[in-house]
C-alpha cells in the first residue's frame, strides 16, 4: 500500500514526541546503558526540544501514514541545522523510523524514495546521514539504495560515545 505524507507543524507536537520516543526506544534501548539511554531520550525527544526543532525552518519533520494510521516519520536538516557542514550544498537525513508493528512492509523504501524526491527539489549535491556502525541492517539498507560511506563522526547516547558512519547519496 502507498503511504501519504504530512509535513509536521506545532499542532503535531504530541504525536511527534510519542513516535520519536517509541521508535528510538524500540530500535536502540536494548543496546545501550539504561541510565544513559533514559537521559538521552528525556532530552532529545522532550516536548521542549522537539518544539524548538519544529520552529526552526531548517528542520523538516514529516509523518508517514498508511490509510490514516501513523506508521513512521523522518526528519531532514538543511543549511545550519545539519550536524555536519560540508563545502558543497547538502541535506542531512537525521531520522527515518518506522513503528515496530509496521516494519518489514517495505515502508522504509517508500519513505526513502519520498525523502529523495523532496531533497532533489532543493538543488543540492548530495543527501547524507549518520548511521550507528553497529546497525548492520540499516547500513545494508542504505547501501542497497545507492548510499556510500564517506566518513565517521561521534554520536553520544548520554556519556557513551558511539561512532556513526557517514553515508551519502550523490545527486550531481
Q: Which long-range CB contacts under 8 A does 38-45 form with residues at least 24 apart?
A: 39/158, 40/156, 40/157, 40/158, 44/20, 45/17, 45/20, 45/21
DSSP bridge pairs for 151: 166
Is 62 noted as a catalytic residue in this protein?
Answer: no
Which residue among the candidates 5, 62, 73, 142 is catalytic per the annotation? 142
The model's confidence at residue 60, banded by pLDDT at 50, 70 and 90, is: very high
Give the C-alpha separation, 134 to 147, whole Å.
17
Helix (H) or strand (E) holding 90: strand 90-98
pLDDT computed for residue 41 by the predictor:
96
- Rg over CA atoms, the chain: 15
87-121 pLDDT per residue, tens: 899 999 999 999 999 999 999 999 999 999 999 99
Helix runs in the chain, H state only: 13-28, 34-44, 47-55, 107-120, 136-144
Per-residue pLDDT tens over the stretch 12-21: 999 999 999 9
Q: C-alpha distances in angstroms, 118 versus 28, 66, 103, 154, 159?
A: 27, 19, 22, 27, 35
What's the pLDDT at 172? Answer: 78
Which CA distances in Å does 71 have to 11, 17, 162? Answer: 18, 14, 28
Q: Are strands 3-7 and 160-170 parallel, antiparallel or unpaired?
A: unpaired
Amino acid at each position: 500500500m502507498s503511504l501519504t505524507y504530512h509535513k509536521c507543524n506545532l499542532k503535531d507536537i504530541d504525536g511527534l514526541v510519542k513516535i520519536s520516543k517509541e521508535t528510538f526506544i524500540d530500535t536502540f534501548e536494548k543496546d545501550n546503558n539504561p541510565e544513559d539511554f533514559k537521559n538521552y531520550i528525556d532530552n532529545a525527544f522532550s516536548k521542549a526540544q522537539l518544539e524548538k526543532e519544529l520552529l526552526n525552518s531548517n528542520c523538516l519533520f514529516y509523518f508517514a501514514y498508511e490509510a490514516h494510521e501513523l506508521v513512521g516519520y523522518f526528519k531532514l536538516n538543511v543549511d545550519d541545522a545539519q550536524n555536519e557542514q560540508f563545502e558543497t550544498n547538502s541535506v542531512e537525513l537525521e531520522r527515518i523510523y518506522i513503528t515496530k508493528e509496521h516494519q518489514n512492509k517495505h515502508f522504509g523504501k517508500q519513505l526513502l524514495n519520498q525523502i529523495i524526491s523532496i531533497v532533489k527539489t532543493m538543488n543540492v549535491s548530495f543527501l547524507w546521514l549518520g548511521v550507528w556502525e553497529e546497525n548492520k541492517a540499516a547500513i545494508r539498507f542504505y547501501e542497497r539504495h545507492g548510499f556510500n560511506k564517506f566518513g565517521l563522526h561521534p554520536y553520544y547516547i548520554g556519556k557513551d560515545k558511539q561512532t556513526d558512519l557517514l553515508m551519502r547519496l550523490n545527486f550531481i
